[in-house]
Each structure stands twice: as structure tokens, then as C-alpha cells.
Amino acid sequence: MTDTTLTDSLDERARELDREHVFHSWSAQANPSSLVIASGRGARVWDHAGREYLDFSSQLVNVNIGHQHPSVVQAIREQAELLTTIAPSTVNLARGEAAKRIVAHAPSGFRRVFFTNGGADANENAIRMARLHTGRDKILSTYRSYHGNTGAAVVATGDWRRVPNEFARGHVHFFGPYLYRSEFWAETPEQEGERALQHLRRVIEAEGPSSIAAVLLETIPGTAGVLVPPPGYLAGVRELCDRHGILLILDEVMCGFGRTGRWFAFDGHDVRPDLITFAKGVNSGYVPAGGVIIDEPIAATFDDRVFPGGLTYSGHPLAMASIVATLDAMASEAIVDNARDIGDTVIAPALADLADRHEVIGEVRGEGVFWAMELVADRGTREPLPAAAMGRIKSALIERGVLPFVQDNRIHVVPPCVVTADEVAEAVAAYDEVLGTALEGEN
């Protein structure tokens, strides 16, 4: 058997096992993906046969440091040799070092971290903390949002995934700012921000301010479209919360730890939250991890009162070691700076140029390595490009060797924070070719 035959057979074996035994998330099981990923390095991944793909999805917008960063892999290996697991009630050096590094990037007054297994249960526990701290029940969140697939987090989510899962109580939704498809008849970012705040003010008044524990927002909604808030909006939400004794939870699961070219996305928006949730980029998903960064007054609530929450794998040593190594490498290698600089000087102008040349691109928006191209069938009406066309675009990009993040009528341009200018140029060339035929057959 030749090497090529052997590697092809490994890919087919992977597909066979997947079809027979794996139940996939958010999928109809009769139509599984055939894409096999066997290895990776930096911004690239390969199947067993050596077919190469440029990963401009960062998988689920989480591989911020890139695939197989050697210092993170080494840290996991060393921790595995020392101690693979330990109960969360014990004291562990790796856990303390990880928490110290995380709070170093948070605003002053944040000293404690509650570790979870991912972003969904981070939001779940932030909601729990807010309710217990305030003695109130309701959680307000936007319709254009995704906060995870656990009981309260998926009901806090605003998109279609909430509807079949509405078993949690006390959740109210409102519309956040989205100028391109404004709910408020706005024509400028300033109008959109002002009118969105007026809408939220009225929702708070109508729901009863004294019944609301927290407003939960993705600082920059990610899956919903990389919706960068207009100037002053988040500060205005903070003011409304302060006026009524409502906590502000900022969900930084997708947008945190370098994705926007800042350690936290809210660093660029003149706002200080009460609770910060994180996961994904904190260790690029090398080992599942997430958590809640807790402002001191909320943490103090549980000094002499038991916090009724916990997870068997909270602060898991392998995850903690990977966090320490990731954050140290991101700092020493200026990876967050790279995300900012390449976003400003390479990605932004390249996508603007694509929009100038392709009528199918209705809007480009984003920052750092966190961008979206919104695709439309008609620029005048802003009618979204149909799902069938988006499916063809996704398949064509994969055929061209680029792994895209395609959501609804958008291509999210979300490479690892370590991406190079040459890799951006390679992906943009693929977008250019594929978008040139995107409207064929749509008229």
C-alpha cells in the first residue's frame, strides 16, 4: 500500500466512523460533513492525505493563537506528567497562575475568577451570580446574540436556537444596534446608538427595573454578524444599568483575548462591566475552559454565603496550564498587537477593495481579526443572499483551500490572531474568485 493510499484510507476511515457513531451539534444527522481535519499548524490545517486548508474560521472563532502553538502544547505535556486532574475544591498552582494572568488584563477591582468548562456555562454561572447578588430574577439580552447551549444561556440567546429550548425562566429580549438593518429607522451610527438606547430604556421601564438582575450583552455580537456597537452605546447601557441597580454582564467568549486587537473588546468602548465571561481565545480551545471574572462587590456576596454552583472540572490542571502558556505567549510574541495591526493595515483595506468590486457585498464591518462580509442579492433592497447561494460559496471556498466561517448571509473573516499578511492575501484571492460568481443563477 502506497503512502497516498494509506493516508486516503485514513480519511475514509474517519468519515466511516463519523457516519456510524458521531452525533453532531446543530445538524441534521443524515447530512454529515465530509471534511476531515487531522493536523494543524498556525493558520493552516491538513487532512490525513496532506490536503491543506487555510483556516479563516479559527474553527469556531476560538483558535486565536493558531493551531499547535509549541509552547502551549509543551505546557500541556508538562502538566500531564505532573498532575492530570484534581478536584476543584483543592488548591492548585496552575489554577492560581491562570487566574492571576486573566485578572491582570481586566479592569481594577476584578480579582477573582470562577472557572468553567466553556463559554455557555460561564454565562450560566454569571446569570446565577447576578440573580443571587441582586435578589432579582430577570435577565435582559438582545435578539441578535448567542450565549451558549445550556439551560439559561440558550434562552438568553436571541437567535433561532432559543425557540426549541425555552425552558428557563425570567428572560426578556430587546433589539441592539445594527445600522445596516436598523430596527429604528436610523441613518447614522449616532442615531442608531441613541434610538437603541431609548428602546432599551423603554423595555427596562416596561419590565419593571426592580425585577431586572442584569443586562447580558456580547460586547461585539459575533455569530449574529460581528456587530460593532456605535460609539457611546455600551456606555449608555452602563448608565441605564447604574440608574436602576442592574448589573452589566459582558460576554467576551468570542470577542475576548485578542480577537479585536485588544485583550478585551470592551477596552475600546469606554465601559466597565460587573461580570465578564470568557472562554475560546483564553487558551484557543486546546483544552476546554472558560470562566467568569467577578467584580469585588459581587465576589464579596459569597464571602460568608455559599455559592450554589460548581463543576467537576472547574480549573482543570491541563486547561489551566494551557491558559498560562497561551497568555504568556500572546504577551511575549505581541500576538494581540499583530491582530490589531493586521486588521487595520491589511484586512480592512482588502475587504473594502472587495466590496468596491463585488456588488454581492452589501457591507463590510469589524476590527482586529474579527470581520464580516454581509452578502446581498441586491444592494438597493439589501435582500440577503439566499441560503443556496451561500452554500455554494462555502463549498467553493473549501475547494479553493480556505476554511470559511459562513453564517446566514455572511462570510465571517476570522483567522487566528497570528495570521500573516501573505495568508490574508491568499484568503482574499479565494474570496475574490468565488464572489465573482456568487450571483450566477440568482436572477
CB atoms within 10 A of CB 273: 29
Check residue 182 and give its pLDDT: 98
Condensed to tens digits (0 to 9), the pLDDT of residues 376-394 reads 999 999 999 999 999 999 9
373 forms beta bridges with 364, 411
C-alpha cell of residue 101? 494572568
CATH number of 70-332: 3.40.640.10
**Nearest to residue 225, comparing CAs of 414, 429, 431, 3?**
414
C-alpha cell at 381: 433592497
The pLDDT value recorded for residue 32 is: 79
Topology given in CATH for the domain delimited by 334-435: Aspartate Aminotransferase, domain 1 (3.90.1150)
Maximum distance among all Cα pairs of the chain, rounded to whole angstroms: 72
Q: What's the pLDDT at 345?
A: 98
All CATH 3.40.640.10 domain ranges in the chain, comma separated: 70-332
Burial letters 120-153, b for 16+ CB under 10 A, else e: bbbbbbbbbbbbbbbebebbbbbbbbbbbbbbbb
Cell digits for 241?
Answer: 444599568
Q: Which DSSP string do the residues of 63-92 spell out, in sequence order? A: -TT-BT-HHHHHHHHHHHHH-S---TTS--
For the chain, residues with pLDDT lower than 70 are 1-4, 441-443
Taking CA 312 as the corner, what is the angle to CA 311 and CA 315, rounded to the nearest 5 degrees? 80
Check residue 31 and give its pLDDT: 84
Concatenating the DSSP letter of every residue in 168-188 gives SSSEEEE----GGG-SS---S
The C-alpha angle with vertex 226 and arms to 225 and 229, in degrees rounded to 5, equals 115
Shortest CA distance to 55 belongs to which of 378, 405, 327?
405
Whole-angstrom distance, CA of residue 277 vs CA of residue 115: 10
Which residues of the chain does CATH 3.90.1150.10 include? 334-435
How does DSSP classify residue 107?
P
Amino acid at 151: G
Dist. CA 272–CA 250, nearest whole Å: 9
Q: How far apart are CA 50 and CA 66, in angstroms?
A: 18
Q: What is the pLDDT of residues 256-307, one digit of tens each?
A: 999 999 999 999 999 999 999 999 999 999 999 999 999 999 999 999 999 9
Within 10 Å of residue 269's Cβ, how many Cβ atoms? 22
Q: Are 134 and 213 in contact (CB under 8 A)?
A: yes
What pLDDT does residue 2 have?
Answer: 58
